[in-house]
Structure 1
């Protein structure tokens, strides 16, 4: 079985995994603060740096695995399923209508498939769960908040690549401004950056979500409140989503999974309150137990799926 590369792009790092089937053979991490680059450079300069950093990282891996023919990448943003262009990336401002698959493929001289990062993670979780017939919803809690839906065995991106962009469901009318251009999106409250903003509002201190979780574990009331608020907004959003997409399996992943124990009680209470009665007690909401490889695996498997579909 030929090796496949799956890439997971985060706000501050780039993770490149080499897979044989579902088995991770090697993972390499690169510092790649694309968010900072986009905030401090013009769009064209930022794009050049992103392509340069990404291609260099992948090339280093290809030296060890020259037989790789398929490369998949999960990238945060609205990915047009027909053209593979990044229509917009709310957390990487300025990256509008850039063709990541084409530009990166030309540099590497290999075909690259690009999918939304949360959709890639959803497919990875789906594969590792044994491809359940009932499908799966994935909620990714990281710097931002993403979602992915696997339905009838296929990733569902929607007509314009914005299906399951649940982070941009408005939960607080006229609330905090969001990178997507709206205000009050759940991403601004239930993501790592949202928790940091909530804690700053409550305490006047600027800390990372990880540091806030440590304080919460030590009994800091304001840190606990920041995570409680995140849990409530997340549950309200998810209760809305499952009323539209009746899928019983929900996996919560991303970097904030380490703090799920701080959110679970408030989340469960709010979800039970907001669900319609027919759905109460029928959802399975679990934190990911895939050691954070789902994004890379899903990207790799989607690259294979895409090429199989074309052949």
Structure 2
């Protein structure tokens, strides 16, 4: 049972196919629930207005049981994929949730639930969660999230750096293959189309004609499938290409790579390290600490909960 005197915060991590909710007391996860909330499929199935109302109802229905169980919840934060203006909370676009434009999840959920809801870009939320779990390291923290897409977040001097319009660190949309695969953002050749779970699946389909999940492709790679191994190696190389470009602009000490795809990091790491060493400017070589996260993928929920305060 919840402690009567405890103060709780609720954080949500929204992905293209999953919804995760965590109740926190300070940095401690008290309870976690998960939902198969395929927002991407909803956006493809319904017209934009209907898709938005469906997303609102699904999200509110997931939150209400936790509000009932933990009446001491004082704030709700949501990490949501897309370009979110930090001043207005308006989602301008979400490349992996087609059709969603100029909607305000925080405002609309606040009206539905009767409790203030703050929405942050999902990668920014994950970056802040990792920052909190690492004890607020000096030197800045860059987080790269490999999931349905590729996201990034930067924490400097204890604050998430979102940029003037709120769209900073959209590193997943750095072009690594000129005139390459069409991306949901409207450009071609973004790293998201090669190093995300979606991109890995597409690359394997292009090579073999088979459509498999990134997880199934990782299993095939471990079993000796040369096409699967090549796809993951290419994902690692293109991720490093993007990261080297970012680090030439944003000089930080700590880089954390998280998200579901890092479960197959062993298939990517050799090509990643080789390309990173090649592409970094010489003065940065050997000075960047790149690690995969060991937070159990809690960071997105935790960061959203902390940023909501």
Which TM-score band (shorter chain)? over 0.9
1:58 deviation in Å? 0.3
3-state DSSP of counterpart to 1:49: helix
Residue equivalent to 1:309: none
Q: TM-score, normalised by structure 2?
A: 0.98
Matched residues in 1 for 2:35 and 2:66: separation? 11
Matched residues in 1 for 2:156 and 2:129: separation? 13
3-state DSSP of counterpart to 2:154: strand
* 2:151 aligned with 1:135: no
1:77 deviation in Å? 0.2
Equivalent pairs counted in the alignment come to 304
* 2:55 aligned with 1:50: yes
Residue equivalent to 1:102: 107
3-state DSSP of counterpart to 1:189: helix
Which of 73, 79, 83 aligns to 1:74? It is 79
1:280 deviation in Å? 0.3
What do the CA deviations read for 1:236-287 (whole angstroms, capped 9, x no partner)?
0000000000002000000101001110011000000000000001111111
Which of 158, 162, 168 aligns to 1:157? It is 162
Matched residues in 2 for 1:25 and 1:44: separation? 35
Residue equivalent to 1:64: 69
Which of 299, 303, 306 aligns to 1:294? It is 299
Which of 188, 193, 198 aligns to 1:193? It is 198
RMSD: 0.6
Matched residues in 2 for 1:230 and 1:83: separation? 35
Which of 217, 226, 235 aligns to 2:222? It is 217
Residue equivalent to 1:307: none
Q: TM-score, normalised by structure 1?
A: 0.97
Unaligned runs of 5+ in 2: 1-5
Matched residues in 2 for 1:281 and 1:263: separation? 19
* 2:30 aligned with 1:31: no
Which of 100, 125, 130 aligns to 1:125? It is 130
Matched residues in 1 for 2:101 and 2:168: separation? 18
Residue equivalent to 1:8: 13
Unaligned runs of 5+ in 1: 305-311
Aligned ranges 1:219-238 → 2 under 5 Å: 219-238=224-243
Matched residues in 1 for 2:23 and 2:255: separation? 26
1:83 deviation in Å? 0.2
